């Protein structure tokens, strides 16, 4: 039996998204989705080639798919191999050796802090233990990390970067990652779908302008997904929110025997950190917020102010290509005088092509904003595309070669590791929708807000889905959670922002710094999302000084980066003609060694952020 292709029905030729209306889309989408439940299994998808027909680039060869499967297997094997079920959650932290020289634990916390003696949640934690004894005078306690999302795994984050972070801040700290409630290994876990086959039928379009009916289909998908979330809620869904996670962090700190929090949060992790600081201003020992969001915009479910600099990141990419002398980028215009016109025309051509293609085509453009490494990969992929080879762009569209894919291309079973955290995007939806104000589900109102987003950024069609997923979210009784992000903390907060961040603009960091008395904003002069995605000896020396000595940079500090967007591999730093190259040529041996650490950290962080943001909400982990 051939399964249905599990997408919304197409409107008639004479029906656009206005005339069909939200009820028509919802009916078509729901009928298509529910009719296919129980009949769309992984093997039948493979047998009938359903996903092969949905691939973004039809030039992708079977040999490339086979290579991708091999890379996929090696990628999953390199990840967390520990069996977390062997740990019994406890109210005291009991660490168990795991993943080599790391340690793992599961901490019981109240599911509902207003009723702490009722049900509990179990938070998964992983740490790289300090290199000094806990009873040593050099021991400085734990630093908690949150990589963002919401919905990203702190366990995976620390597993990937802890060694390099230790080289920056020293051995005196425990480096601790945790999966927030509802996410990945922590339980209860947000999950709206019964099986992976069911979940993979539910992709949102990569762009709200991908086709004439993309907006309506996304609208219908969001309403149906919210109904699924409510129907499959076991009573825990309402407690998966930022306020509760902030309380969990205090519980984790206290379980370590400490009174105050040391924390590093990135992207959404800055919202979580700011929320903790607003709730517990006297519990801050150190707090680094990098890639700073706007809590007011986030909690109001507006999603407007975060896009004001998105175009700057894309412009930096194009300008870097124009300036590069590397032969790998000869597809781009060279004449500086024509840069503005050619960049606009070239971008419009790319976006027009991408919107005519299948779902993931725009996502590499989105991913390219998340780091220097991402820029180089995107440029190479687009150059290959101009020559007729789309394999590299396709690999970027799923998060890079070797990344877990949502498309089930490989002959594997549903219990394979690649599917282990496929539902992390459910956690992202749960957290952001529980946190924010309810959205008016009126179709015209949703369209009007989308137009507002488009007045802010030309990339509104990519990012607009992040808000749309909260349509029709269950009306849980809110905790009337209100805090002020204008307060005095027990220790000043260090904020970091790039000059051209695609989703957390510099203005948001300036606003937050003005609210927290004594805080200092360090600006890194680079494009990309968070300082992690571009190596800067200046930035990381200030981070180390802050955590080790409590030393803040001077107000107004701006750090340059120690890498070129598109370095020419034929030139060494010793004969470089660029200012960055000349500076690198004069580094001392210790600085050069540290720069190598930062380059490795940058590559790791760029891959992590790229995979989280490669394919969008609703289909793969963020």
Compute the average pLDDT of residues 450-468.
Answer: 91
Contacts of 540 (CB under 8 A, 6+ apart): 168, 531, 594, 598
Compute the average pLDDT of residues 110-118.
Answer: 95
Q: What is the pLDDT of residue 408?
A: 45
Is the pLDDT reported for residue 215 higher than 50?
A: yes
* Buried/exposed 3-27: b ≥16 CB within 10 Å, e otherwise: beebbbbebeeeeebeebebebbbe
Distance CA(167)–CA(229), nearest Å, equals: 43
Is the pLDDT reported for residue 414 higher than 50?
A: no
| Strand-pair category, 120-128 with 173-179 | antiparallel
**Which residues share a beta bridge with 179?**
124
Compute the average pLDDT of residues 32-60.
Answer: 34
Compute the average pLDDT of residues 69-96.
Answer: 71
Is the pLDDT reported for residue 529 higher than 50?
A: yes
Q: What is the pLDDT of residue 564?
A: 80
- pLDDT for 126-146, tens place per residue? 999 999 999 999 999 999 999
Q: pLDDT over 70 for what percent of the chain?
A: 70
Distance CA(106)–CA(122), nearest Å, equals: 6
- pLDDT for 383-405, tens place per residue? 787 788 878 877 776 655 545 44
Distance CA(539)–CA(277), nearest Å, equals: 23
What separation, in Å, do the N-terminal and C-terminal C-alpha atoms of the chain show? 34
**pTM to 2 decimals?**
0.83
Is the pLDDT reported for residue 120 higher than 60?
A: yes
The values of phi and psi at residue 122, to 5°, are -120, 120
Please check whether residue 160 is in contact with residue 604, taking contact to mean a CB–CB distance below 8 angstroms.
yes
Q: Return the top range by mean pLDDT from 158-167, 197-206, 612-621.
A: 158-167
Q: What is the pLDDT of residue 194?
A: 82
Distance CA(55)–CA(359), nearest Å, equals: 8
Is the pLDDT reported for residue 486 higher than 60?
A: yes
Helix (H) or strand (E) holding 262: strand 261-266
Neighbours of 292 (CB within 10 A): 31
DSSP state of 87: S
Compute the average pLDDT of residues 219-247.
Answer: 95
Question: DSSP string covering 442-491, please?
Answer: -HHHHHHHHHHHHHH-TTHHHHTHHHHTTTT------------S-EE-SS
Q: What is the pLDDT of residue 54?
A: 29
């Amino acid at each position: 039996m051939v399964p249905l292709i599990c997408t919304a029905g197409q409107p008639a030729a004479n029906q656009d998204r206005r005339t069909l209306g939200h009820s028509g889309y919802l009916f078509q989408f729901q009928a298509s989705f529910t009719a296919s439940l129980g009949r769309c299994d992984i093997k039948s998808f493979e047998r009938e080639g359903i996903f092969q027909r949905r691939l973004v680039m039809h030039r992708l060869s079977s040999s490339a798919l086979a290579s991708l499967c091999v890379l996929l297997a090696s990628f999953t094997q390199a990840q967390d191999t520990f069996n977390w079920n062997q740990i019994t959650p406890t109210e005291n932290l009991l660490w168990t050796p795991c993943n080599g020289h790391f340690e793992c634990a599961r901490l019981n916390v109240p599911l509902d802090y207003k009723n702490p003696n009722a049900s509990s949640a179990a938070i998964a934690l992983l740490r790289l233990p300090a290199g000094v004894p806990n009873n040593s005078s050099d021991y400085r306690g734990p630093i908690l990390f949150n990589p963002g999302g919401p919905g990203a795994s702190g366990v995976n984050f620390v597993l990937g970067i802890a060694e390099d972070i230790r080289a920056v801040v020293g051995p005196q700290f425990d480096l601790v990652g945790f999966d927030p409630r509802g996410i990945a290994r922590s339980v209860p876990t947000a999950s709206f779908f019964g099986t992976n086959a069911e979940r993979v039928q539910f992709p949102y379009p990569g762009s709200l302008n991908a086709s004439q009916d993309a907006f309506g289909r996304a609208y219908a998908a969001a309403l149906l997904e919210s109904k699924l979330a409510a129907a499959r809620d076991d009573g825990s869904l309402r407690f998966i929110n930022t306020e509760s996670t902030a309380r969990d962090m205090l519980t984790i700190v206290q379980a370590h025997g400490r009174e105050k929090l040391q924390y590093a949060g990135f992207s959404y992790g800055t919202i979580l950190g700011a929320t903790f600081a607003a709730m517990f201003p006297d519990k801050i020992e150190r707090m680094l917020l990098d890639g700073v969001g706007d809590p007011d915009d986030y909690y109001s479910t507006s999603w407007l102010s975060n896009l004001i600099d998105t175009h700057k990141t894309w412009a930096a990419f194009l300008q870097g290509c124009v300036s590069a002398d590397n032969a790998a980028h000869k597809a781009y215009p060279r004449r500086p005088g024509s840069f503005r016109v050619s960049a606009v025309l070239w971008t419009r051509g790319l976006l027009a092509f991408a919107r005519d293609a299948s779902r993931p085509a725009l996502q590499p453009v989105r991913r390219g904003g998340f780091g220097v490494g991402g820029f180089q990969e995107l440029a190479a992929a687009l150059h290959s595309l101009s020559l007729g080879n789309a394999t590299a762009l396709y690999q970027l569209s799923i998060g890079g070669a070797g990344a877990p894919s949502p498309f089930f291309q490989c002959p594997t079973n549903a219990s394979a590791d690649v599917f282990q955290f496929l539902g992390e995007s459910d956690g992202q939806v749960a957290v952001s929708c529980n946190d924010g104000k309810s959205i008016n589900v009126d179709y015209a109102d949703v369209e009007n807000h989308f137009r507002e987003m488009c007045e802010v950024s030309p990339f509104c069609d990519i990012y607009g889905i992040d808000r749309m997923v909260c349509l029709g979210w269950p009306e849980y009784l809110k905790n009337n959670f209100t805090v002020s992000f204008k307060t005095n903390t027990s220790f000043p907060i260090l904020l970091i922002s790039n000059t051209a961040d695609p989703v957390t603009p510099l203005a948001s960091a300036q606003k937050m710094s003005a609210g927290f008395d004594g805080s200092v904003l360090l600006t890194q002069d680079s494009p990309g999302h968070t300082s992690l995605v571009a190596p800067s000896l200046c930035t990381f020396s200030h981070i180390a000084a802050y955590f080790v000595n409590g030393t803040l940079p001077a107000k107004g500090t701006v750090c340059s980066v120690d890498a070129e967007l598109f370095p020419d591999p034929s030139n060494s730093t010793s004969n470089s003609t660029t200012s960055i190259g000349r500076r690198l040529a004069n580094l001392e041996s210790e600085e050069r060694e540290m720069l190598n650490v930062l380059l490795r950290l940058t590559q790791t962080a760029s891959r992590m952020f790229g995979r989280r943001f490669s394919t969008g909400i609703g289909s793969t982990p963020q």
